[in-house]
Amino acid sequence: MTPPEQPERGSDRRHREIREAAIGIFLASGYDGATMEDIAVRAGVSKQTVYKHFTDKQNLFADIVLSTTDDMDALVCLIADRLSNTSDPAKDLEHLAETFLNALMEPRVLRLRRLVISSADRFPEIATAWYGQGFERALGVLSRSFQALAQRQLLAFKDPAMAAEHFVGMLFWIPVNKAMFTGDDDYAATHDLAPVARSAARAFMNAYGVGRKDRRGRTMTEQ
């Protein structure tokens, strides 16, 4: 983490520490298994302090779930900006794909994802907000990058939003499901994600890139 520009106030620090402790407890014990008591102990504060900062368990859960979308958003904006200005979309799309995939396959992100899905029928507003602030915001950023490349005649499509959806679908569907359904949240540590990222980026360029031909003048279909 980069150091804050101004010294952090004691109250802000405690807020952050309780949040960190809560993420650990919720991910380890699930929503029902997590108690405000355990979170207080882990954060090294009293239970009253936890309630003072976060009202109740559901509020604390909502807060930690939504706070994680900011990290993802910052990352997506950074790499999408680079993509918008690229002179080599094929290469930079591969880079974006790999960075994005590694971020989503972080054990903590996968565990949080399972937790949010598990509780989506009980707390649909939290899961919906997570989807909106996380996935849909990222899709919007990506879509605008693709639109910028289309204006520079490096990509071609009718609907940039649909193209963005296809890109993330090719990239994420298989590895994320494998992690979800094997319960293996350390999937990225034991599997090479680079070929998945590369092949998704290449298939996307084949579908939406402009004028890429192979040496014999055929449309390229390599992966």
Residues contributing to the site for a second copy (CB under 8 A): 32, 114, 116-118, 120-124, 127-128, 130-131, 135, 156-159, 162-163, 165-166, 168-174, 177-178, 180-185, 199-200, 203-204, 206-208, 210-211, 219, 221-223
Q: Give whichever of 4 and 169 is closer to a second copy, judged by the CB atom.
A: 169
Cα torsion at 147, 150, 151, 157 (round to 10°)? -90
Report in angstroms how near the CB of residue 103 gets to a second copy at its nearest.
16
> What's the min distance (Å) between Cβ of 207 and a second copy?
4
In the bound complex, what is the minimum distance in angstroms from residue 137's beta carbon to a second copy?
Answer: 13
Backbone phi, psi, residue 209, to 5°: -75, 160
User: Read out DSSP for 22-39?
Assistant: HHHHHHHHHHHH--HHHH
Q: How far is the CB of 52 from a second copy (least distance, A)?
A: 30
Q: Could you tell me which of 81, 103, 102 has the C-alpha nearest to residue 92?
A: 81
Cβ-based nearer residue to a second copy, 14 or 94: 94
Nearer to a second copy, 40 or 61 (CB): 61
19 or 202: whose CB is closer to a second copy? Answer: 202
Buried b vs exposed e over 106-124: b needs ≥16 C-beta within 10 Å? eeebbbbbbbbeebeeebe
Nearer Cβ to a second copy, position 59 or 219? 219
Residue 155 DSSP code: B
Residue that has been written with the tokens 């034991």 in this structure = 190
Min CB(195)–a second copy separation in Å:
8
**Dist CA 92 CA 208 (whole Å):** 15
